Amino acid sequence: MSVELRRNGLHLSGTLLSLDAKRKSPLCFVSHGHSDHIARHERTIATVATLRFMEHRLGPVSAPLAAPFRRPFELGPLVLELLPAGHILGSAQLRVIRADGRRIVYTGDLNVVPSLTAEATEVAECDTLVIESTFGHPRYRFPPRAEVFGQVEAWVRRQWARDAVPVLLGYPLGKSQEAMKYLSSRGFSLVAHSSIHEVVKLYAELGVPIDNVRLFTGKVEPGEVLFFPPHQVRSGALSHLWPRGTAVLTGWALDPGAARRYGADVAFPVSDHADFPSLMAYVKATGASEVVTCHGFAEELAQALRDAGVDARPLGGKPQQLALL
């Protein structure tokens, strides 16, 4: 059995199982509900939360196979188990145990920093680890989350002090809800674009309520914070809000010129992905003897792991098989 990189994404050879396939597959494990990880599959293995987010985005999910965390189940000769990935609410890692006992883990998108709105990450001990490497370059070292949120709060208060509307740009699913949870807990009143507000309602439905949030209908009252999706910042919907200050929440904030690329005044390094030190530490904690890096800085992370004495290689862009020996 091997992991194959196909045009449609990752696939577990010898089975029908795909991993976060980008197009319709007979059977697919979906690690979380972000749009670049979901599709209309014939059968879908995912957590209840992920299936709900898929339904919200794509409509009814065909033959959903809801899998709770830490409850192994069989797929032919294999045993599968989902473990929290800490990325967004419901995000999961997949551990596959072969008949000979060898354990293979696919992390999906991973975040090891404690989150206000997602399940705490659990280390998935294994022999072979397939790990995402979005921020797998040594330059990505995020400051403590509490420190960054404190900076966001201070920035909001500065906007109010100059009678400006504070606008925070964040992905509609996941990042916005965590930032909103923090500011809500600090007593802030929040306003949200419809795409973000709809997800807030889903979070409440799934047991993670966020208080003091109303739907944005064109007006922001004094003392309120507006949450908006980054891709709509130049749409003109904000043009009548003036003066305003705009900040984007993204791990790419560590890159020069990040704020300008997002059309924002400032960028704060809030990410729902693990940074480089966290990825390195996670690999060690799993005990994996073989590591495959994928997405983002896969080559850089694999090289750093090899330098640390770990058998690691990147998953390349060409079709190939990675034998899970």
The CATH number of the domain where 237 resides is what? 3.40.50.10890
Structure tokens at 189: 């009143």
CA atoms within 13 A on the CB side of 152: 34
- pLDDT value at residue 6: 75
**CA dihedral angle for residue 269, residue 276, residue 109, residue 82, rounded to 10 degrees:** -130
- In the prediction, which pLDDT does 64 show? 96
183 plus 58 within the same structural domain: no
Average model confidence (pLDDT) across the chain: 94
Residues 6+ apart with CB under 8 A from 14: 1, 2
Domain final residue pick, 268, 285, 302: 268
Residue 31 structural domain: 2-139+273-323
Coil/strand/helix, residue 102? coil
Residue 248 has pLDDT above 90, yes or no: yes
pLDDT tens digits, one per residue of 90-113: 999 999 999 999 999 999 999 999
Residues 169 and 134 in one domain: no
pLDDT score recorded for residue 5:
74
Q: Retrieve residue 19's tokens.
A: 């991993």
Identify the band that residue 325 occupies on the pLDDT scale cut at 50, 70 and 90.
very low
Give yes or no: residues 106 and 168 share one domain: no
> What's the pLDDT score for residue 175?
96
Same domain, 154 and 55: no
Residues 137-160: pLDDT tens digits?
999 999 999 999 999 999 999 999
What backbone torsions phi and psi does residue 254 show, to the nearest 5 degrees? -75, -15
* Residue 165, strand partner residues: 244
User: In this structure, are 246 and 282 located in the same domain?
Assistant: no
- Type of residue at 220: V
Specify the range with the lowest mean pLDDT, choosing from 35-39, 81-85, 166-170, 193-197. Answer: 35-39
Domain boundary among 239, 268, 297: 268
303 and 212, same domain (yes or no): no
Is residue 6 located within the same domain as residue 130? yes
pLDDT at 320 (0 to 100): 36
d(CA 241, CA 219): 8
> Final residue of a domain: which of 268, 285, 313?
268
* Number of neighbouring beta carbons within 10 Å of residue 178: 24
118 shares a domain with 79: yes
pLDDT at residue number 323? 35
Cβ atoms of 314 and 302 closer than 8 Å: yes
* Tally of domains within the chain: 2
Tokens of 130: 């397939």
Per this entry, what is the length of the chain? 325
pLDDT band at 316 (very low <50, low <70, confident <90, very high): low
Q: Tell me, what's the pLDDT at 34?
A: 96
Domain with residue 306: its CATH number is 3.60.15.10
How far apart CA 90 and CA 92 sit, in angstroms, is 6
At residue 165, the pLDDT reads 98
Residue 324 has pLDDT above 70, yes or no: no
- Residue 129, Cβ neighbours under 10 Å: how many? 27
Question: Does residue 318 have a pLDDT over 60?
Answer: no
Using left for φ > 0, alpha for ψ between -120 and 50, and beta otherwise, residue 223 falls in left
Residues 221 and 281 in one domain: no
Check whether residue 232 and residue 300 sit in a common domain. Answer: no
Residue 166 has pLDDT above 80, yes or no: yes
Per-residue confidence (pLDDT) for residue 10, from 0 to 100: 86
Predicted local distance difference test score (pLDDT) of residue 271:
97
Three-class SS of residue 73? strand
Question: What whole-number distance in Å separates Cα of residue 6 and Cα of residue 26?
Answer: 14
Both 280 and 214 in a single domain? Answer: no
Give yes or no: residues 263 and 277 share one domain: no
Alpha carbon 86 to chain centroid distance? 8
* Average pLDDT of span 84-88: 98
